Structure 1
Amino acid sequence: MKTESLILVKQFCLSHGIDTGFIAALHNFGLIEIIVAEENQYLSPLQLREAEKMISLHYELEVNLEGIDIITNLLRRIETLQMELNAAQNKLRLIDTTPPPD
């Protein structure tokens, strides 16, 4: 597996000043995905933003893993609902701009 685009968990934790155990706990809780290659643990670039949000929630706001899980799930549901609302609004705009039949 190519690891050029992956971020080494140890390096990520070092740069954020956190323990690697917290990232492992996030992974064990099912909140982020860790990729294991060549006996090293990596994060994908897509996971970085999510991991940073969770670090902020935990270390700055003192939210535990269960709370992070709840917050993450609620934010995903809100995002899904927002996309559904946008799609419905687009359909309504289409209906409003369609000329009436003759």
Structure 2
Amino acid sequence: MQTDLVIVSEYCQKCHIDPSFIVMLEEGGLIDINVMDDGEKYLLSSQLRDLEQYTRMYYDLSINIEGIEAIHHMLDRMRNLQDEISLLRIRLRLYEPFDFDTIENL
């Protein structure tokens, strides 16, 4: 299995962000940094979407790391609740078929 890795220092240089920002995100538990035997720090490419979102929040919207952590927590909670609602709708349809889309249009 091949995993795509991104070198943190090169990413920071190309995106014009401070490497300490990446470290703060890791300390906040928002991303994971892998350190290889050569001492270089790497990110998984699957984390880039989240990293770009955090970067926009921090640099464009001036949201501090604690705010980003709170937003991340609330978005995760919202996704979990949406998943739970979907599951409950599926279970409810077993007992009582109903068009939930009509409720959203009211």
Query: Fold-level match, TM-score > 0.5?
Result: yes
Counterpart residue number, 2:45: 45
* Structure 2: unaligned runs, 5 residues or longer: 98-106
CA distance change for structure 1 residues 80 and 8 in 2, over 3 Å: closer, same or farther? same
Q: Secondary structure at the match of 2:42?
A: strand
Count matched residues: 96
Q: CA RMSD in A?
A: 1.7
Q: Distance in 1 between matches of 2:8 and 2:79?
A: 28
Counterpart residue number, 1:73: 73
> Equivalent residues in 2 for 1:53-92 (5 A)?
53-92=53-92
Counterpart residue number, 2:15: 16
Q: Distance in 2 between matches of 1:4 and 1:92?
A: 41
String of CA shifts for 1:44-88, please: whole Å, max 9, x gaps.
122111111100000000000110010000000000000000000
TM-score using structure 2 length: 0.83
TM-score using structure 1 length: 0.86
Residue identity (%):
35
Deviation at 1:11, TM superposition (A): 1.6
Counterpart residue number, 1:32: 31
Q: Secondary structure at the match of 2:74?
A: helix
Q: Secondary structure at the match of 2:91?
A: helix
Counterpart residue number, 1:6: 5
Does 75-84 or 37-46 show the bigger shift? 37-46
Deviation at 1:4, TM superposition (A): 5.8
CA distance change for structure 1 residues 36 and 3 in 2, over 3 Å: closer, same or farther? farther
